[in-house]
Structure 1
Amino acid sequence: SLYNFLSFCLSISLFILFSKDVLDDDKPLFFLRIFDLALIIFASFSRLLMHIYGFQPSAVICVLVLSPLPIIKAAYQDSNRFITVKCNGGLNQMRTGIADMVAVARIMNATLVIPMLDKRSFWQDSSGFADMFDVPHFITSLQQDVDIVKELPKHLESVPRARKHFSLWSGMSYYENMTHLWKDYQVIHVAKSDSRLANNDLPLDIQRLRCRTLYRALRFSPSIELLGKRLVERLRSRGGKYIALHLRYEKDMLSFTGCTYGLSNAESEELRIMRENTNHWKIKKINATEQRNAGYCPLTPKEVGIFIEALGYPSSTLIYIAAGEIYGGARRLSDLTVRFPNVVIKETLATQDELEAFSGHASQTAAIDYIISVESNVFIPSHSGNMARAVEGHRRFLGHRKTITPDR
């Protein structure tokens, strides 16, 4: 029967997973591929059962898919090779880049040094890695996959490094070829971390590693986690359920995308000047109408209100706005609150004392928004940016929590 076949596949997977202590070290890849094949078969039939009978795959599937295979690391790891990384971009761009670099360190058989965060981007956030993330948890949760150290060994601090700008969206073969650098260097420095690894055609063990890194290992620092969870409890105490709305209608987003629909001439000019004066934004002349027609613009607060109303949510629905300062302030936000008056933001949900520690640290406040968004009953992004994709992925990781993405 189908049930027996599924049980057989699961048995194979469990056997391979827990037989690591008796396997020879020279056979990891062979068993990894068998494990991957069993997972593919099992996952495929689980999805079929879910479609036909409404069957929900048990948590054991998640454990199999997302747990490391310790037999592989022993065969690969060489602690005499190190990769240092300088991240770039905002919070979620950096988080995704870090997950990629963990995978790259695994592919290139290297020890990863705790990455340096971007402190010179648009947000001008001085937060270091330890300010943003739980460093001990990051290291220990990945210890069966990749060796991670807080800093380079003293004797390597002054040695020549291979400084690389790895190509965008590179696959396994690219990084396997890059291992020739180990012949001449013990340290490779990666100048940028974003989008350095392809999304498709990667072995399942590498994809699993990226997921574990992004959604399990990169836990925020204790102070961020504490306040984030405290605010989630306050939201739930107001009615039990809430929508997290990632209202990407900040000044920087509108300027970067060139989206000026509904803005005054003075506001449009202000955004144009900002774009002209931001050196690392390469595209300066943008046709706002073409951007909007192509679906590249975030929804306005008014459009979001109409959208949520059309979905059938009552006006009493509690909505948390996960965003920075809305361009146009309360005046523009009123286009949403006229339909849904029960709208809250960090500044009204948390006390001034609670937010004081995060003042001037945009990445840390964005992390609080991230936690609240992941834990929401429904997540709605008004634009498909880095945070929207990261939160949606995290919610899938945790069990397919509802995310509603408007077709712009």
Structure 2
Amino acid sequence: MKSMEGVVRVVKDLPSHVSKHKIAAVKVPNRVTEDYIAKHVEPIYRSKGSVRLATYFPSINMKKAGEKSDADSVACLAMYESLELQQETHDLVDSMVERLRTLSRKSDGQFIAVDLRVEMLDKKGCQGSEGKEKSCFNAQEVAMFLRKIGFEKDTTIYVTQSRWDESLDSLKDLFPKTYTKESIIPADKKKKFLESEDSELEKVIDFYISAESNVFVPAISGLFYANVAGKRIGSGKSQILVPANIPDSSASASSFLSHYVSKKNHFAYSCYC
């Protein structure tokens, strides 16, 4: 929360005069306007003296909306700089990233993170419809995309799929050094992070490894892609390549740079230059 110092006051514990049982809960969509706050949140705050905000995402759109405002800058900082990993999780992610870099010795420690979760490919959002741009790519399509834009067989690839699925074999056929988190996580951490009922822990690992990779490839368009893009923009890691079906035998990787980067239209640019 140190990044918010001088912007908003953040306290670790509730003040003694505030009762948890009397805090009014207000459901607020992500990235609301100041007018929305004045109309829907401020009256409740003035009436009750405190509010608990529950944020939800009505859409996956992370594009900047018009001219940057002070509120956008604060929201951007809160979204991408306010939270840090607990030390155990931070150390785990670091060890997994280091493991991937070690496996990538022949490519100077560089690796690709691909957001590809097999179960998502069958969901409605990935089915697409006639006339709409393709937004999800399977393992074989990702493999062909990476090969055609110039990645060599020895490239190390991390896939967000938790455990190996036979549908990933086509990716491993072209890129033998393809790994899921199950194969690179330290053995003593598997029970807590992979066998827990809390799948959010796995998503956290995926998010930070995808943010740290040299190249990020979102095979599935959605909120995860948008959030990873924001984190990468903040750290200057602009290599986000969006898959496509390439009819020719080869193409330039730069042609597939995410619009979030090429057009600088991601919300993260509200607080990052």
Higher relative contact order (CA 8 A, sep 6+): 2
Structure 1 residue aligned with 2:231: 394
The alignment status of 1:247 with 2:116, answered yes or no, reads: yes
Q: Measured at CA, do residues 318 and 363 of structure 1 come closer, stay the same or move farther in structure 2, by a change above 3 Å? A: same
Structure 2 residue aligned with 1:141: 3
Q: Which amino acid aligns with 2:124?
A: T
Q: CA RMSD in A?
A: 2.8
Q: Secondary structure of the residue that 1:243 maps to in structure 2? A: strand
Structure 1 residue aligned with 2:187: 352
The alignment status of 1:314 with 2:152, answered yes or no, reads: yes
In 2: Cα distance, 1:248 partner to 1:295 partner: 19
In 2: Cα distance, 1:213 partner to 1:351 partner: 31
Q: Which amino acid aligns with 1:354?
A: K
How many pairs were matched up? 236
Structure 2 residue aligned with 1:27: none
Gaps of 5+ in 2: 246-273
Q: Secondary structure of the residue that 1:166 maps to in structure 2? A: strand
CA contact 1:373–1:379 (8 Å) conserved in 2:
yes
Q: Which amino acid aligns with 1:374?
A: A
Q: Which amino acid aligns with 1:334?
A: D
Match of 2:124 among 240, 257, 268: 257
Structure 1 segment 298-377 matched on structure 2, within 5 A: 298-325=136-163, 329=165, 331-358=166-193, 359-360=195-196, 361-377=198-214
In 1: Cα distance, 2:210 partner to 2:147 partner: 20
Which structure dedicates a bigger proportion of its chain to helix?
1
CA contact 1:243–1:376 (8 Å) conserved in 2:
yes
CA contact 2:163–2:180 (8 Å) conserved in 1:
no
In 2: Cα distance, 1:369 partner to 1:339 partner: 22
Shift of 1:313: 0.9
CA contact 1:302–1:335 (8 Å) conserved in 2:
yes
Match of 1:294 among 132, 144, 162: 132
Structure 1 segment 77-96 matched on structure 2, within 5 A: none
TM-score, normalization by structure 2: 0.75
Match of 1:180 among 30, 34, 43: 43
Q: Secondary structure of the residue that 1:156 maps to in structure 2? A: coil
CA contact 1:245–1:382 (8 Å) conserved in 2:
yes
Higher CA-based Rg:
1
CA contact 2:145–2:244 (8 Å) conserved in 1:
no
Q: Secondary structure of the residue that 2:202 maps to in structure 1? A: helix
TM-score, normalization by structure 1: 0.52
Aligned-pair identity in percent equals 26
Q: Measured at CA, do residues 158 and 368 of structure 1 come closer, stay the same or move farther in structure 2, by a change above 3 Å? A: closer
In 1: Cα distance, 2:214 partner to 2:47 partner: 52
Q: Measured at CA, do residues 343 and 184 of structure 1 come closer, stay the same or move farther in structure 2, by a change above 3 Å? A: same
Q: Measured at CA, do residues 190 and 353 of structure 1 come closer, stay the same or move farther in structure 2, by a change above 3 Å? A: same
CA contact 1:169–1:198 (8 Å) conserved in 2:
no
Gaps of 5+ in 1: 1-137, 260-287
Shift of 1:355: 2.4
CA contact 1:248–1:298 (8 Å) conserved in 2:
no
Q: Measured at CA, do residues 174 and 362 of structure 1 come closer, stay the same or move farther in structure 2, by a change above 3 Å? A: same
